Amino acid sequence: MPRILLSWIGNTDLRAPQAETEIGLGPIAQACASLTFERVVLLTDYPETKVAEFRKWLRERIGCPLDVQCRHLSSPTNFGEIYEAARDVVVAVVSEISSAELVFHLSPGTPAMAAVWIILAKTRFPAELIESSQKFGVRTASVPFDLAADFIPDLLRESDRRLEATNASPVPEAPEFADIIHRSRQMKRTIERASYVAPRSVPVLLEGESGTGKELFARAIHNASPRRQKAFVAVNCGAIPAELVESELFGHEKGAFTGATESRAGYFENADGGTLFLDEIGELPVTAQVKLLRALQEGEVRRLGGKNAKKVDVRIIAATNRDMLSFMSSGRFRADLFYRLAVAVIKLPPLREREGDVSLLIERLLDEINKQSESEPGFKHKKLSSGAKKLLLRHTWPGNVRELLNTLRRAAIWSQQPEIQADDIKDALFPEGTMQDQAVLDRPLGHGFSLPDVLQEVVQHYLKRALIESAGNKTTAAELVGLPSYQTLSNWLAKYKVDFGNTRA
């Protein structure tokens, strides 16, 4: 496993080439002399003229590749800018060498830079933390596991406070959303949007990958609305056979079709006065979309085989993991129905973009598993070893929260001891590469499959990776993905609707 050192360049490091006898090697060179690394990646906000001599001096002293990356900071204590710069560099390293063993050096740079390394190591990128000094040499820095995670909200909250201070209306309190476990800015803003729209009876469209909690959000919106005392009816549109959609949604009368031995109310009538949650709305057949649109426009439904229409008062919350704009352009989803549903559109972030949430979710979900398992024979209360927790934090969770929960459940079963070990987690995890390959290569044909959508998904993935790894340099990004020039890359970015700003989210 390649060992990679990442560090900011400090003033002592820059002085070392000229004052080695006085101040020693400096933290970075001292670490490279004491420990073995396969690669050294350094960040600096100093001008190139001040860094050039140190780079040359250090390269002659280490026996591995050296990569020095300049990052402009408005201030060496600006947490937000430091965090963004360090995170992007680590993402690039991990994307290139997924099995890398990361080592973050805390000594060089400002205290803010050291704090950011701690946060990254304890939340998103498990890493060894080291520090060095002339007196004590190079040693591992001991930092409690939860320290960084607890510090993240305070670190990043200031910009949200400034935003809220300029807003005339305060953020509404929403205890109904308390079950959505989070501490990340991304999820906080998503909950704020949901809480704003909850009291209004407008339709809501929830967009997000499978496992991001769309039904949990829908229930929270319902519970925070004036309809909370009425029914919440959840329907998986993808699970209804095409020939039964109309009967399931709108009901049927006795004798309407073979097997209709009695009259039956549909989901719309069952949800009258309350909320109808239409999950996987993109899977509805086009013929059913026409009838759904009419029901929404008229505010009434007619049972299959019935003569009279019945008025219904239903709030619609729809959800999808599809790209609905592509579905509309290909004729698989009616534009008039989409715009009827998409009055308030809320995008749920995938777990890999919810920085700081994974460690919190691990703790809460394991507590939940322990409580659910108490009555089972031979139950032992389970906790995670530090090695097991590191493996969980390193995983990208393509199945999102649902995958994380089921992985913890499997690991709790495999582990015969009270403490879940790293090997138990390895047995419980699905290989990421295999899952991603199957997600692209083994999707079932028909039933909404679209080759253009799959191609767009793949292209967007690699363009975003290239932009992150090149730190936004389009010429370098073009080379990374095999495009002839930055102009060609720009054309691809426009064609496939890739915004570099979104790659930093």
Domain with 7 in it: what CATH number?
Answer: 3.40.50.10770
180 and 98 belong to one structural domain? no
268 and 181 belong to one structural domain? yes
470 and 493 belong to one structural domain? yes
Report the C-alpha gap between 171 and 29 in whole angstroms. 49
pLDDT < 50 stretches in the chain:
146-173, 434-435, 438, 501-505
* pLDDT of res. 174: 64
The conformational region for residue 284 under phi > 0 = left, psi -120 to 50 = alpha, else beta, is beta
Residue 469: alpha-carbon gap to chain centroid: 18
β-partners of residue 306 are none
Report the C-alpha gap between 301 and 291 in whole angstroms. 9
For Cα atoms 415, 362, 372, give the angle at the middle one, nearest 5 degrees.
65
* Tokens of residue 101, six digits: 């063993």
* pLDDT of res. 499: 67
Report the C-alpha gap between 106 and 99 in whole angstroms. 22
Whole-model pTM: value is: 0.62
Q: Is 135 exposed, middle or buried (0-12, 13-18, 19+ CB in 10 A)?
A: exposed
Domain membership flag for residue 444: no
Q: What DSSP element (H or E) covers 58?
A: helix 48-59
Q: What is the CATH number of the domain that holds 404?
A: 1.10.8.60
Please give the tally of structural domains in the chain.
4
Domain membership flag for residue 212: yes
The residues, any chain, with a CB within 8 Å of residue 483's CB and separated by 6 or more, are 489, 492
279 and 369 belong to one structural domain? no
Q: What is the CATH number of the domain that holds 457?
A: 1.10.10
3-state secondary structure of 191: helix
311 and 181 belong to one structural domain? yes
Contact 169, 327 (CB under 8 A): no
* pLDDT of res. 144: 61
Domain membership flag for residue 414: yes
Greatest pairwise CA separation for the chain in angstroms: 97
Report the C-alpha gap between 38 and 96 in whole angstroms. 14
71 and 139 belong to one structural domain? yes
Contact 412, 383 (CB under 8 A): no
Domain membership flag for residue 442: no
Question: Residue length, the chain?
Answer: 505
pLDDT digits (tens, 9 = 90+) for 306-353: 888 999 999 999 999 988 887 887 788 999 999 999 999 999 999 988
244 and 214 belong to one structural domain? yes
345 and 356 belong to one structural domain? no
pLDDT digits (tens, 9 = 90+) for 349-371: 999 888 788 988 999 999 999 99
Beta strands in 134-283 (DSSP E): 137-140, 204-207, 232-236, 275-279
Domain membership flag for residue 159: no
Domain membership flag for residue 89: yes
366 and 479 belong to one structural domain? no
Q: Give the HSE-up count for residue 384: Cα atoms under 13 Å, Cβ half-sphere.
A: 25
133 and 274 belong to one structural domain? no
* pLDDT of res. 163: 38
Structural domain boundaries enclosing 462: 450-503
Contact 428, 410 (CB under 8 A): yes
50 and 125 belong to one structural domain? yes
Instruction: Give the end of a domain, one of 379, 410, 436.
Output: 436
Report the C-alpha gap between 174 and 196 in whole angstroms. 9
pLDDT digits (tens, 9 = 90+) for 415-427: 989 999 999 999 9
Domain membership flag for residue 155: no
* pLDDT of res. 149: 43
Domain membership flag for residue 432: yes
* Tokens of residue 367, six digits: 């507590």
Per-residue 3-state assignment (H helix, E strand, C coil) for 253-288? CCCCCCCCCCCECCHHHHCCCCEEEEECHHHCCHHH
Instruction: Give the end of a domain, one of 436, 459, 480.
Output: 436
180 and 99 belong to one structural domain? no
For residue 364, count other CB atoms closer than 10 A to its CB. Answer: 13
Pairing of strands 309-311, 39-44: unpaired
The residues, any chain, with a CB within 8 Å of residue 424's CB and separated by 6 or more, are 388, 411, 414, 415
Report the C-alpha gap between 219 and 71 in whole angstroms. 44
Instruction: Give the end of a domain, one of 105, 130, 148.
Output: 148
Q: What is the CATH number of the domain that holds 187?
A: 3.40.50.300
Contact 325, 282 (CB under 8 A): no
Contact 316, 295 (CB under 8 A): no
